[in-house]
Amino acid sequence: MGASGFLGSRLLALAPPDVALAGTGGRRPVRPGNWRELHLDLATPTAARAVIEQERPSTVFFCAYDRTNPAVTVDAAVAAARAAVTQAARFVLFSTDLVFDGRDGPYAEDAPAAPVLAYGAMKLEAEALVAAEHAGALIIRTSLLVGESGVMLRPAFECDALVRGQSVSLYRDEWRSPTHVDDVARAAWELSLLDVAGVYHVAGPRLSRLELGQVLCGLFRFSPALIREADRPASRPRDTSLDARRAAALLGWAPRPLASLVPQPARV
Ligand SMILES: NC(=O)c1ccc[n+]([C@@H]2O[C@H](COP(=O)([O-])OP(=O)(O)OC[C@H]3O[C@@H](n4cnc5c(N)ncnc54)[C@H](OP(=O)(O)O)[C@@H]3O)[C@@H](O)[C@H]2O)c1
């Protein structure tokens, strides 16, 4: 669910070949492909359950969220998890590094969460209620997702300005674990096929927002001259980077450092 979004569209694209797929969108279309496209408004209380009862999936990936609407981010996730239980389906919820307060990163899965932003608080509530509803639920926390899908370049805060040739102020003192979206999609499929439940961090190496911007210039051919160094506002968490060794040990691989993905210039 949330297949018209950034991560959801890559989950469809990177699915194992033998899996029958359906992807839900809200207002946007789902990218065309070898899957069925469904549309619903997850803010409607019965929508998540109705589509799961109709489709009878073996696994539900819940990527949908709305930063301003707990009816989607929390209530629909919980309703979907409950419906997955009745269908004996796997349930995978995506969550965020922003469940942490940023005073003591990098954070392992069992570190106490204490969100300072409303979005992080909503996601933490969704995590707890989904886990209570579905004992086998897998909760994948990740950090800023990087990559391209259709016409989207992400993360939006950096890319939307840089792609237009506009300058952007990036924080030298805010640390995250930016991760290529395809690595999260691949890890989610692989973890969903293992008999594991609970919280897993799937995230790349720690970078400041400033360092991330510099890597994005290499990845997407933005001009580094557009980047201005800045200090983060005091209201933002300082270091919500994730310790992702638990998932990496299980999978046998870790998300790639973004710098390793920067294309090398052709030799002429
Ligand atoms: N992107 C990041 O940097 C990042 C970082 C950490 C964690 N995450 C987590 O990863 C997950 C996916 O993020 P994303 O970047 O892929 O998000 P996204 O691109 O904004 O996609 C959100 C999805 O939710 C759907 N949605 C929102 N409101 C809806 C509604 N009322 N009814 C039906 N569908 C609705 C959207 O559908 P329409 O657009 O079609 O309406 C879209 O498919 C989220 O759980 C997020 O918390 C993301």
Tens digits of per-residue pLDDT, 169-207? 999 999 999 999 999 999 999 999 999 999 999 999 999
Rounded Cα gap, residues 212 and 217, in angstroms: 9
Tens digits of per-residue pLDDT, 107-125? 999 999 999 999 999 999 9
Distance from the first to the final alpha carbon of the chain: 46
Ligand 1 pocket, residue 164 CB under 6 Å: no
DSSP string, the chain: --TTSHHHHHHHHTS-TT---EEEESSSPPPPSSSEEEE--TTSTTHHHHHHHHH--SEEEE----TT-HIIIIIIHHHHHHHHHHTT-EEEEEEEGGGS-SSS-SB-TTSPP---SHHHHHHHHHHHHHHHH-TT-EEEEE--EEEEETTEEE-HHHHHHHTTT--EEEETT-EE--EEHHHHHHHHHHHHTSS--EEEE-----EEHHHHHHHHHHHHT--GGGEEEEPPPTTS-SB--B--HHHHHHHT--PPPGGGGSPPPPP-
Tens digits of per-residue pLDDT, 61-101? 999 999 999 999 999 999 999 999 999 999 999 999 999 99
Tens digits of per-residue pLDDT, 131-145? 999 999 999 999 999
Question: Domains of the chain, with CATH numbers?
Answer: 6-261 (3.40.50.720)
Question: From the CA of 80, how far away is ligand 1's center (Å)?
Answer: 15
Question: From the CA of 161, how far away is ligand 1's center (Å)?
Answer: 20
pLDDT at 45: 95
Ligand 1 pocket, residue 22 CB under 6 Å: no
Q: What global pTM score does this model have?
A: 0.97
pLDDT at 152: 79
Ligand 1 pocket, residue 222 CB under 6 Å: no
Ligand 1 nearest atom to the CA of residue 2, by list position: 43
Tens digits of per-residue pLDDT, 220-241? 999 999 999 999 999 999 999 9
152 or 50: whose pLDDT is higher?
Answer: 50
Ligand 1 nearest atom to the CA of residue 4, by list position: 43
CB 223 within 8 A of CB 165: yes
Tens digits of per-residue pLDDT, 33-48? 999 999 999 999 999 9
For ligand 1, atom 37: residue with the closest CA: 26
Ligand 1 pocket, residue 68 CB under 6 Å: no
